[in-house]
Structure 1
Amino acid sequence: MWRGSSGATDRPSLFDALHTRNYRLWASGQIVSLIGTWMQRIAQDWLVLTLSDGNAVAVGIVMALQFGPTLVLSVWGGVLADRYDKRRLLMGTQAAAAVFGLVLGLLDVGGVVELWHVYVLALLLGCSSAVDAPVRQSFTIEMVGPDRLPNAIGLNSMTFNLARIVGPAIAGVAITAVGTGWVFLANAVSFAAVFAGLAAMRTDELFRVDRAPRQSGQVREGFRYVASRRDLCVVLATVSVVSTFGINFPLALSVITRNTFGRDADAYGLLSTVLAVGTLIGATLAARRRGTPGLRLFVASAIVFGIFETAAGLAPAFWAVAALLIPAGLVQLTFSTVAMNILQATVPSDMRGRVMGIYMLCFLGGTPIGSPILGWAADVLDPRAPLVLGGIVSVVAGTVAAVVVTRGARATSADSAGVAVPDQKNQPISG
């Protein structure tokens, strides 16, 4: 049962969720912290390329180490989110991430950093992030309530992608001017903003839900629940494939910048920024969307995203790649926000953390598999291969999902007309 008041207005606006004080604190801290996070991502990729003499496989390995813990810990993070105070959990994960950034920065500034240092710290950061992600996602509804949830998800994406524009741009200039080490130190300091925002929240104004009891078998219970919902299975399977091979831009863009066009870190930062412009536009559209979007928009965005990504991989010139990344980013953001809206708005509150943990497992858990494969393809075939292969796989995944959605809709229609249809225990797929 919800406790608290949504304070939703009769005249919804793009910034509806910001009428909630706790969410304003969260969003303000996030914009600062996420700028630092994106600065570190760019600096980390560039540091790995520098230490490995341009080896794309090394970038794939560090990404695998950073996202690998998601395979093991994200669903357990969801269990923690369902059981315990999410605000306190987030304070712990943010503090841990700050420490890891600080250590990497000190090693780099001190001139003693080695590739294995980056690997170890990426793994530790991945462990913290694997717990943080499902807690963070499921905490949104507690800040704003169910009425403002779609708008808050859109604003979260806007914040993330605004930082994605500013962070890489700053990082590209800063790496050239002062080196990667100072970028890592700046990121460590940036976590203070989100930590302060969490500490300043009024806990009595949070929209509390009954927590799941502490008992065995809760991870299995989460997977059984997802398996019983055909619509959730379609969303999560498609997200898993597209994110594993298609949404792998840190690897793809760093390699194509350095090894195809022979450009420096500032050009890599520019491509990342251009991609983020597209995703920011998509986030703005998502924040204006009212109600929970359906599966047809979800599968269509997967297909269109794959088309634009493939075109970017085949583009002959640097600026052509940059131009195509704008619509690719827009449709990618539509794909991910529609998925999160479907998942968060249609599951019970005491199951939401586990479902979001499974979502993060699907969204990030494939990176340890996809990154080394795409890095190998870039080294052996062509630096453009990660974009081209990722785009083709995304088109195929979206097409398969579209077939499943169409058949499910027909089966539901037949069942409602009184025709016996097997296996109708699952929730019908809606468009």
Structure 2
Amino acid sequence: MNARPEGAMPKIATRFLDSFLPLRNWNLRVYLSGQAISLIGTWMQVTAQAWVVWSLTHSTAALGVVAMLGTLPILLLGPWTGVWADTLDRRRLLIVSQTSAMVLAITLALLVQTGVIQVWHVYVLATLLGIVTALDMPTQQAFIGDLSGMEQLRQAVVINNMLFQVSRMIGPALAGLVVARLGAALAFWLNGASFLAVIASLIIVRAAQVRRTGAADLSGFSEAVQFIRQNPRAQDLIVFTVIVTFFGISVMNILPAVASQALHGSADVLGLLMGASGAGALTGVLLVVPAVQQVRRTGLVVGAAAIWTGLWLVVFSASTRLPFSALAIFVGSMAFPVVLTTTMSTLQIMAPPDMRARLMSALLMVSFGAQPLAALMVGYSAQVLGALSAVRANGLLMAAGAAALLALRPALRSWEVHSETHGEVEHRQDTREFQLDGAQTVEV
């Protein structure tokens, strides 16, 4: 009776260690090292910028405007940026985007350092950074696969998301210390300097990219839309991601109100809630994602993760005590990376090699690009119903939406990503074909 448990632990440990196998790749290791430093700087700027806007305006509306301006370009420019990232040299595009972001960070640092900063300056810089981000995000996601190779793409995406979650915890904490003791300008200077690490890594590494042939126009994006229309499982993954990001990420915008109104705290309580959420997401990337990637019923697992997150938001909304609230948001956040990581890696595996960036762009457009609308809706709900009621509504809608998708798509519940993609990467590279749901073969 003890044989199975004794064998289970080594198996789990092996799966966990296997998640880091892509780090044997020198190019990927160099790039991710630079990216890790840059991400910490980015989160420092996000935190310091919010503090600067609040200090200038004392307006939550102004904070919302900055968030909107930073994400709206993803929605508006997505069709073009995905095509560019599939047609042009992704490594050079990333050098351009990272250099541009560095210049914007230094500009903000100079404005704050000299004391001439005004809120409209932040609006303009946030918009410009949003434009850069619209190009950078799909390019960066596809570039990970260029470095790792398709066989280790899923593990490489997990590692990249792991770095994101770690930086999400370290960056704001460092920014808080820097802003409080040395001023916000230094946080922006440090972010500007952090870009040197990722730019240097991009200059050093070499990647194997399969480029799209043809003009870099919107006809290329229509090919990605056609792929999604013809592939029900790609549609399902995108819908799951939209549900989780629309109803989940937007909740973070009203956490200050939850900390103040429901938990009767201040910035320290908000920091604990944000930290608990980040720690939960990091735990999910480290432990949950490697485990669920071994489960065959991918569609059912992703749907269950979305339902889990939604239900724990409901539990969170029922609490008025900090320890229980922190525990609820920690546990709920553990499943969040399951949806994002599985979707980003699986879509790239399913797609032709020269379409990966366009698919990432389409995904980012309808998920993160919709954040301005999501933030507006949850903010209005919190104002009318109260912060906890708004969180509860979002949690219920998330769980109900995911459950409805599973109920309405029977094939999704038994879908296995491994069976669909096994051996097809090499086949697509040779024949320029991809398979839809194991049945129809479509020429690209």
Gaps of 5+ in 1: 1-9, 413-424
Aligned CA RMSD, in angstroms, stands at 2.7
Are the aligned partners of 1:309 and 1:388 in contact in 2 as well (CA < 8 Å)?
yes
Task: Look up the equivalent residue of 1:33 and give its one-letter code.
Answer: S
Are the aligned partners of 1:169 and 1:273 in contact in 2 as well (CA < 8 Å)?
no
Deviations 1:27-80 (A, max 9, x none): 101111111111222222333333332x33332222111100011112321101
Question: Counterpart of 1:185?
Answer: 189
Question: Structure 1's 410 and 71: CA in aligned 2 closer, same or farther, altered over 3 A?
Answer: same
Question: Counterpart of 1:328?
Answer: 332
Higher relative CO (Cα under 8 Å, sequence separation at least 6) belongs to 1
Deviations 1:261-296 (A, max 9, x none): 464545433332221111111111324645987111
Deviation at 1:382, TM superposition (A): 2.2
1:277 to 2:279 alignment: yes
After TM superposition, the structure 1 stretch with the greater mean CA deviation from structure 2, 283-292 or 241-250, is: 283-292
Question: Structure 1's 255 and 50: CA in aligned 2 closer, same or farther, altered over 3 A?
Answer: farther
In 1, the alpha carbon distance for the partners of 2:337 and 2:358 equals 22
Question: Counterpart of 1:222?
Answer: 224
Q: Secondary structure at the match of 1:384?
A: helix
Are the aligned partners of 1:304 and 1:331 in contact in 2 as well (CA < 8 Å)?
yes
In 1, the alpha carbon distance for the partners of 2:183 and 2:415 equals 59
After TM superposition, the structure 1 stretch with the greater mean CA deviation from structure 2, 55-64 or 290-299, is: 290-299
Task: Look up the equivalent residue of 2:224 and give its one-letter code.
Answer: G
Question: Counterpart of 1:403?
Answer: 407
- Alignment match of 1:361 (pick from 362, 365, 368): 365
Q: Secondary structure at the match of 1:68?
A: helix
1:92 to 2:108 alignment: no
Deviation at 1:347, TM superposition (A): 0.9
Deviation at 1:259, TM superposition (A): 5.4
Task: Look up the equivalent residue of 2:210 and give its one-letter code.
Answer: V
1:347 to 2:351 alignment: yes
Are the aligned partners of 2:251 and 2:394 in contact in 1 as well (CA < 8 Å)?
no
1:38 to 2:43 alignment: yes
Deviations 1:225-266 (A, max 9, x none): 111111111121232232123222541334433555464545
Question: Structure 1's 189 and 386: CA in aligned 2 closer, same or farther, altered over 3 A?
Answer: farther
- Alignment match of 1:27 (pick from 32, 35, 39): 32
Deviation at 1:411, TM superposition (A): 12
Are the aligned partners of 2:81 and 2:134 in contact in 1 as well (CA < 8 Å)?
yes
Deviation at 1:14, TM superposition (A): 3.1
In 2, the alpha carbon distance for the partners of 1:267 and 1:174 equals 19
Question: Counterpart of 1:246?
Answer: 248
Q: Secondary structure at the match of 1:211?
A: coil
Question: Structure 1's 24 and 98: CA in aligned 2 closer, same or farther, altered over 3 A?
Answer: same
Gaps of 5+ in 2: 1-14, 417-434, 440-444
In 2, the alpha carbon distance for the partners of 1:70 and 1:29 equals 24
Superposition TM-score, scaled by structure 1 size: 0.86
Deviation at 1:309, TM superposition (A): 1.9
Question: Structure 1's 94 and 267: CA in aligned 2 closer, same or farther, altered over 3 A?
Answer: farther
Deviation at 1:123, TM superposition (A): 1.1
Instruction: State percent identity of aligned pairs.
Output: 30
Are the aligned partners of 1:292 and 1:341 in contact in 2 as well (CA < 8 Å)?
no
Question: Counterpart of 2:158?
Answer: 154
1:13 to 2:14 alignment: no
In 1, the alpha carbon distance for the partners of 2:113 and 2:393 equals 37
Are the aligned partners of 1:70 and 1:361 in contact in 2 as well (CA < 8 Å)?
yes
Question: Structure 1's 158 and 140: CA in aligned 2 closer, same or farther, altered over 3 A?
Answer: same
Aligned length: 405
Question: Structure 1's 23 and 399: CA in aligned 2 closer, same or farther, altered over 3 A?
Answer: same
In 1, the alpha carbon distance for the partners of 2:23 and 2:383 equals 46
Deviation at 1:131, TM superposition (A): 0.8
Are the aligned partners of 2:224 and 2:355 in contact in 1 as well (CA < 8 Å)?
yes
Question: Structure 1's 113 and 257: CA in aligned 2 closer, same or farther, altered over 3 A?
Answer: farther
In 2, the alpha carbon distance for the partners of 1:105 and 1:257 equals 30
Q: Secondary structure at the match of 1:148?
A: helix
Task: Look up the equivalent residue of 1:208 and give its one-letter code.
Answer: Q
Are the aligned partners of 1:176 and 1:265 in contact in 2 as well (CA < 8 Å)?
no
Task: Look up the equivalent residue of 2:44 and give its one-letter code.
Answer: M
In 2, the alpha carbon distance for the partners of 1:259 and 1:175 equals 26
1:57 to 2:61 alignment: yes
In 1, the alpha carbon distance for the partners of 2:267 and 2:339 equals 28
Deviations 1:144-181 (A, max 9, x none): 11111111011011111111111122222333223333
Question: Structure 1's 357 and 119: CA in aligned 2 closer, same or farther, altered over 3 A?
Answer: same
Task: Look up the equivalent residue of 2:223 and give its one-letter code.
Answer: E
Question: Counterpart of 1:7?
Answer: none
Question: Counterpart of 2:437?
Answer: 427
Are the aligned partners of 1:161 and 1:279 in contact in 2 as well (CA < 8 Å)?
yes
Question: Structure 1's 92 and 291: CA in aligned 2 closer, same or farther, altered over 3 A?
Answer: farther
Q: Secondary structure at the match of 2:194?
A: helix
Q: Secondary structure at the match of 1:190?
A: helix
In 2, the alpha carbon distance for the partners of 1:410 and 1:194 equals 41
Task: Look up the equivalent residue of 2:202 and give its one-letter code.
Answer: L
| Larger fraction in helix | 2
Are the aligned partners of 1:101 and 1:184 in contact in 2 as well (CA < 8 Å)?
yes
